[in-house]
Structure 1
């Protein structure tokens, strides 16, 4: 990974639902030098804001074809704190919280942990809707994914 230390892949992610819980979407912007890749998707069933916020970095990291240095920006303190502070303790405690309750979204936390293991990821929190261009774009992409999920849910309901 040494050749990419000075040239990280910068990723901005976002996710959400309307209503919460409800259909949801996620978006990610991956940028390295002049290369930009936009990803988005959604879930037509019942999901949550937190699940979509977790899905966005998972999909972005899984889209990388080789191990690289990543600077990953999220506007979700749940995701950033979870992966940087809480996940190791949860895993050590059999995926139970400090209150001995099952960790919510354990499937996604495990998948995110595995996706991070392939790369050297540094996590950053960015205030949502604060004018950070790629964070705003990730929000637009997440909204597009959510709208497609809402449309798919409506189509399924009509059949």
Structure 2
């Protein structure tokens, strides 16, 4: 038998009131959250709780549908290397969200599982159900009302209590695209020790207060103060042109924190090679290879409404020139790149 479940996380403000959920069907799901957390922390906690909730059936295959390429790559690709390096990244910096990742690493020992990437907010039935419940949990913490936790595993499955989890820290690691399923079978080992049950989402489960104060640079960040990088008083066209030029600078492209602000959460790019890039994949690629200087020949800046500007230009690099178009949208007080396309010139 294969247990198929979607896992998802949500954060209002990111960081802000946060929720997580996994979903098998209307009779088999669970959700929780915290007063303050990030989207990535919610995504990781959903996966962790799913492993814990199914720990009593270790012989069953587990298919995890996930719209977070960060989570998929962290669990299936990066963790072995991080562990060998003492939970540090290739640049020597500590892996963030490390406590949640360590718990997941322990929980999957002896399990047979597959991660499959699904596009979020695209009508996938299980993903939408998990997203709805994760967002509802985050909203409950925002409004100060009880979280609807769900039945857990029923109909022949043990309804396990929500176990205590470590204090998650923010993570700036970005992920490459992983549309295909990724499988890792760990060798059998002694199951993790049983954890004391506690009400879902209680802040005491995550240690001392303030652990969620560090923003998650991989996910959507808080908006910048007015006037900082926004050319206060300038026209939207001038602001967008300035931000586009900033995004083309190697030092900006290598900075996950800044690209996390400039790229819209739903950013998509059709590159000069014809490849379709997601925000996660683009951020990771830019950090690994920010490229060299780019000269810009502006062709046009057209207002498409109060909250949208289309920028067209020709870029010149050592590799040649390309015609490019960028759609920037206003989100709150921050202009963010929603779509980009590049076409190489002969």
TM-score, length of structure 2 as denominator length: 0.40
Choose between structure 1 and 2 for higher RCO, CA contacts under 8 A separated by at least 6 residues.
1
Unaligned 5+ residue runs, structure 2?
Answer: 146-346
Report the equivalent of 1:41. 32
Q: Check the 8 A contact 2:87/2:95 in 1, yes or no.
A: yes
- 1:30 match: 24
Tell me, in whole angstroms, the C-alpha distance in 2 between the residues paired with 1:112 and 1:148: 26
SS of the residue corresponding to residue 117 of structure 1 reads coil
> How many aligned residue pairs are there?
143
1:3 maps to: none
CA contact (8 A) 1:30 1:60 kept: no
1:55 aligns with 2:45: yes
Is the 2:12–2:139 contact (alpha carbons within 8 Å) kept by the matching residues of 1? no
Greater share of helix residues, 1 or 2? 1
Q: What do residues 39-63 of structure 1 show as CA deviations (whole Å, max 9, x unaligned)?
A: 101101x311111110001111111
Question: What CA RMSD, in Å, does the superposition of the two structures yield over aligned residues?
Answer: 1.5
The alignment partner of 1:43 has SS state of strand
* Stretches of structure 1 lacking an aligned partner (at least 5 in a row): 1-6, 154-159
State the distance in 2 between where 1:141 and 1:17 align.
Answer: 12
C-alpha deviation, 1:84, in angstroms: 0.7
Structure 1 runs of 4+ aligned residues shifted over 4 Å read none
Higher mean C-alpha displacement, 82-91 vs 113-122: 113-122
Measured after TM superposition, the shift of residue 36 of structure 1 is: 4.3
Alpha-carbon deviations, 1:108-147, whole Å to 9, x = none? 1011111211420111110001111010000011011111
CA distance in 1, matches of 2:118, 2:18: 21
Map Cα deviations across residues 55-105 of structure 1 (whole Å, 9 max, x no partner): 001111111122021011100000001101101100110000000000010
Choose which of 14, 21, 32 in structure 2 pairs with 1:20. 14
Q: How does 1:137-148 map to 2 (within 5 A)?
A: 137-148=129-140
Structure 1 counterpart SS, 2:21: strand
Q: Could you say what secondary structure the match of 2:113 adopts?
A: strand
Counterpart mapping for 1:1-159 below 5 A: 7-30=1-24, 36-44=27-35, 46-64=36-54, 65-67=56-58, 68-152=60-144
Q: How far does the alpha carbon of each residue in 1:3-60 deviate from its partner, in whole angstroms, 9 at most, with x for none?
A: xxxx2000101101010111100111135xxx9411101101x311111110001111
Is the 1:12–1:74 contact (alpha carbons within 8 Å) kept by the matching residues of 2? Answer: yes
What's the TM-score once normalised by structure 1's chain length?
0.85
- Matched position secondary structure for 1:99: coil
> Based on CA coordinates, which of the two structures has the bigger radius of gyration?
2
Distance in 2 (alpha carbons) for counterparts of 1:94 and 1:76: 24
